[in-house]
């Protein structure tokens, strides 16, 4: 599945009946993804896994892709809320979040669709950035005077590729060891930059 330029949309009705219907539909899709390749799953199959009718499905979603996009959006809202309010280091928070959502991540990996999360992140970050007060951005001081779009892409893509590799390896590697590897690498980069430019002191990690 490719998101392309389509926005991640979600039916925002807070009607209890609509909320229950969306949960049934989402749960049905995830259950089917455990048994069948994503591309082979049809709306008819999803509906048959619930006690709903086809009309109810289309009242809430336009397609199975829309169901998955909506589910991913709800997860990303929680993800960025946790990252923005993290009191410890961000990478630890992200690993913990990945563990919390390991079922979805493994299903996406099984279907070679982990990239969908990154696409969703990029779209979500841009939409939030356009509305957010810069002073509330925890990375504002790091971005000051620089083109933040490139830095956001660097941070998001780099971190997500680390998580994607971790998922593809079965989430068996010790997160603390992964963090130590990254920290040591960043220190080496900092040392090289400082050696070439003694007047500049860069801090990549705490």
Q: What is the pLDDT of residues 7-59, one digit of tens each?
A: 444 445 678 889 999 999 999 999 999 999 999 999 999 999 999 999 999 99
Mean pLDDT of 139-160: 82
Burial class of residue 108 (count of CB atoms within 10 Å of its CB; 0-12, 13-18, 19+):
buried
Please list the residue range(s) of the chain that carry CATH number 1.10.10: 11-61
What tokens does 71 get? 């589910």
What is the Cα–Cα distance from 162 to 160, expressed in whole angstroms?
5
CATH of 11-61, one of 1.10.10, 3.40.30, 1.10.357, 2.40.360: 1.10.10
pTM of the model: 0.76
Kindly indicate the confidence band of residue 197, based on its pLDDT and cuts at 50, 70 and 90.
Answer: low
Say whether pLDDT at 194 is over 70.
no
Evaluated on CA atoms 151, 152, 153, 156, the torsion sign reads positive
């Amino acid at each position: 599945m490719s998101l392309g330029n389509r926005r991640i949309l979600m039916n925002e009705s807070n009607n209890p009946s609509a909320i229950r219907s969306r949960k049934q539909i989402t749960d049905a899709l995830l259950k089917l993804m455990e048994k069948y390749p994503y591309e082979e799953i049809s709306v008819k199959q999803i509906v048959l896994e619930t006690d709903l009718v086809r009309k109810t499905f289309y009242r809430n979603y336009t397609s199975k892709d829309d169901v998955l996009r909506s589910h991913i959006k709800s997860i990303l809202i929680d993800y960025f809320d946790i990252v923005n309010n993290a009191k410890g280091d961000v990478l630890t928070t992200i690993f913990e979040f990945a563990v919390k959502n390991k079922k979805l991540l493994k299903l996406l990996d099984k279907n070679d669709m982990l990239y969908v999360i990154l696409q969703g992140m990029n779209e979500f970050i841009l939409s939030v950035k356009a509305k957010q007060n810069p002073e509330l951005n925890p990375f504002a001081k790091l971005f000051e005077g620089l083109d933040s779009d490139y830095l956001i892409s660097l941070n998001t893509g780099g971190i997500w590729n680390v998580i994607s590799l971790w998922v593809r390896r079965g989430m068996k590697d010790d997160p603390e060891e992964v963090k130590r590897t990254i920290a040591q690498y960043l220190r080496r980069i900092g040392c090289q930059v400082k050696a070439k430019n003694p007047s500049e002191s860069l801090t990549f990690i705490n």
